[in-house]
Amino acid sequence: MVEKIGLVACSTSGIDYVNINYPVEVIRQILNLDGQEYQDFIDLKAQDFYDRVVANPDIAISTAQTATGKIADVYEKMKNEGYTHIIVITISSRLSGTFQGAILAKSLVEGVNVYVIDSRRVAYGELYLIREAVRLIKEGVKARDIIDQLEKTRDSISTYVLVDTLKYLVKNGRLSAASGFLGTLLKIKPLLHIQSDGALVPFEKIRTTSKAQSRLLEVVLEDIKDKKVNVFIAYTNNLDKAEMFKQLILAERPDVTVEVLPLTPVVGAHAGPGTLSVGYVVLK
């Protein structure tokens, strides 16, 4: 049987901010801001979100995953469009319940094969897997084999996160093993990283912003030494800093590609303004 493979992604991937030359359905997480509900990107885009939070640092922020029924509706719609197989790539299950919701939604729809993969990443890490899925679909690879390849590929993605404050991550319960940081919450600029299991954990405690930025650059350049990689930078309200990092990396590694993308409002709600993420994908 010829497979017609559909793709579903989370809005947290930042897919709305790039051009994907393939139809992708997007599961949109919900952002609650100052008592009002917004769909990620549809109702509130990155720059507008960060402008509001910077202007009002104490604004009430929370997020919610997409309802299981709505995810099932997406599967049903795709089935009706003739897709025989659906690949769903979600944000890390250690950061959101979306993966579990996407699994549960499978039981609500019959007559289509649904494969759900936990990216164990967020933002660009998800986006890279989506792009790889598109490439493999266009090459005619079967859905089950695409999943196998994506599960191998995700282990080649490394992400470091430099936040201006832990306030947002701690408040929303998205930071694992943070106890060692809490006593000095206001005195440090924490450098974090995403583990292979998708958990966001402390990497190093650093006292000043300038030292933290220097250390982030140092760690990434050391990691990618003698490796063939693509580098990515995700920014919040600090595009200028992201561009500066790009130039510093290219000065040392003019052979690599460096892509700069915004963190979506739902991700930014947990990371906070001033956050900068730098990572890389090791290529075959």
Lowest-confidence segment of 143-147, 206-210, 235-239 by average pLDDT: 206-210
Q: Does the predicted TM-score (pTM) go above 0.75? A: yes
pLDDT score of 133 more than 80: yes
Q: Is 143 exposed, middle or buried (0-12, 13-18, 19+ CB in 10 A)?
A: buried
For the chain, which domains are there? Answer: 5-33+64-155 (3.40.50.10170), 156-282 (3.30.1180.10)
Mean pLDDT value across residues 129-144: 98
Instruction: Give the separation between CA 173 and CA 92, rounded to whole angstroms.
Output: 14
List, for residues 37-72, the tens digit of each pLDDT value. 999 999 999 999 999 999 998 899 999 999 999 999
Task: Give the pLDDT of residue 173.
Answer: 61
Task: Give the pLDDT of residue 207.
Answer: 80
Task: Give the pLDDT of residue 184.
Answer: 53
Element (H, E) at 192: strand 191-194
